[in-house]
C-alpha cells in the first residue's frame, strides 16, 4: 500500500530540480491556491501539494491574505473575524503586540504564538474577545505584552479561534529586543479555563505551585518548558495564587478563575 504524504517541501525540491512540472489546478471562485500537482517520491510515497504566491484577494468586502505553500482553498463566504492589522513594538524588556478587528462573528479568543526560528510556534497566552457574545461590527483594539521572550529576534502570530473551534492565522511579525531579562507572566488573567505560565529562562530547580486564598497548596508541578499550559476548567470560580521558584528567582501572581 502506498503511503500518502501531505507535504510542501519534497514537492518544492522536485519542482526546483525540474523533475516535477507545476500544473494549474481547476480554480473555483475565490480559491486562493494558484497551482499544484501530485508526484511519486522515492520509496513509493505519493506527494500532494499546492503552491501559492503572496497576494491579497477581495471576497465581497473582505480582504483575504495568503502566502507560501500548502494553501487551503476558501469559499466566498465572509470570514467570521476581519483582522485590520497585527503589529508589534520592541519595548524595554518586553515586546508589545497589538491588533485590531473591524468585524467579529462567533469569536471566542486569540492565541498568541511565538517562535525562535519563524517555523515552529508555541502558544504563550490568550486574549478573549471584547465583543459581547463574540459578535461586533465595531472596531476593537487588543494588545498583549510578551515579557518572557528570549533576547534577540522572536516571531509572533495570532491564532484566532471561533466558538465552534474553527481557527485562522494572522501574518507573522518579527521583533528584535536585546533588553530581555528573567521575566514571569500568566495569561489570560482572569481566565475562563486555561492559563499559560511563561518564564524567559528555565532551570532544573523550577517548581510551580497553586494555592487557594488560605495558602493551602492545591497543585504542584515541575515546568518542562518556558511556557506551561495549566487547565483550570474544572476548578471552582474564585481567586488562586500561582507561585514560581527556581532557587534564585521567586514570583507570585494572583489568578482569577471566572
Number of domains present in the structure of the chain = 3
Verdict on whether the full-model pTM lies above 0.95: no
Which of 258, 132, 133 has the alpha carbon at shortest distance from 189? 258
Which of 177, 208, 226 finishes a domain?
A: 177
Which of these three, 66, 93, 108, is where a domain ends? 66
Tell me: the pLDDT tens digits for 181-195?
667 788 899 998 899
Are 41 and 59 members of one domain?
A: yes
How confident is the model at residue 144, as a pLDDT? 94
User: Same structural domain for residues 85 and 172?
Assistant: yes
Same domain? 229 vs 251: yes
> Does residue 110 lie in a domain region?
yes
Last residue of a domain, one of 177, 210, 235: 177
Residue 72 lies in a domain: no
Note down the domain range covering 94.
81-177
- State how far the alpha carbon of 254 is from the alpha carbons of 171, 210, 216, 249, 257, in Å: 33, 10, 14, 17, 10
Which percentage of the chain shows pLDDT scores above 90?
44
Q: What is the pLDDT of residues 54-92, one digit of tens each?
A: 444 444 444 444 444 434 433 344 567 899 999 999 988
Amino acid at each position: 500500500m502506498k503511503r500518502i504524504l501531505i507535504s510542501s517541501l519534497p514537492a518544492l525540491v522536485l519542482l526546483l530540480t525540474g523533475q516535477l512540472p507545476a500544473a494549474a489546478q481547476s480554480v473555483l471562485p475565490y480559491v486562493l491556491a494558484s497551482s499544484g500537482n501530485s508526484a511519486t517520491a522515492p520509496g513509493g510515497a505519493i506527494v500532494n501539494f499546492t503552491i501559492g504566491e503572496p497576494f491579497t484577494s477581495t471576497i465581497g468586502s473582505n480582504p483575504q491574505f495568503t502566502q507560501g505553500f500548502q494553501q487551503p482553498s476558501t469559499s466566498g463566504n465572509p470570514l467570521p473575524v476581519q483582522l485590520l492589522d497585527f503589529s508589534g513594538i520592541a519595548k524595554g524588556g518586553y515586546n508589545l503586540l497589538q491588533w485590531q478587528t473591524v468585524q467579529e462573528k462567533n469569536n471566542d479568543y486569540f492565541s498568541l504564538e511565538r517562535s525562535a526560528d519563524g517555523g515552529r510556534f508555541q502558544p504563550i497566552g490568550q486574549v478573549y474577545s471584547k465583543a459581547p457574545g463574540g459578535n461586533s461590527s465595531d472596531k476593537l483594539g487588543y494588545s498583549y505584552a510578551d515579557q518572557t521572550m528570549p533576547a534577540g529576534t522572536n516571531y509572533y502570530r495570532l491564532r484566532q479561534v471561533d466558538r465552534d473551534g474553527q481557527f485562522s492565522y494572522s501574518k507573522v511579525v518579527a521583533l528584535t529586543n536585546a533588553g530581555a531579562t528573567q521575566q514571569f507572566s500568566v495569561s489570560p488573567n482572569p481566565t475562563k479555563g486555561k492559563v499559560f505560565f511563561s518564564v524567559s529562562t528555565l532551570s532544573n530547580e523550577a517548581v510551580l505551585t497553586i494555592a487557594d486564598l488560605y495558602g493551602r497548596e492545591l497543585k504542584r508541578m515541575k515546568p518542562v518548558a518556558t511556557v506551561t499550559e495549566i487547565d483550570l476548567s474544572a476548578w471552582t470560580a474564585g481567586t488562586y495564587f500561582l507561585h514560581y521558584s527556581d532557587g534564585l528567582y521567586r514570583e507570585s501572581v494572583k489568578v482569577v478563575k471566572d
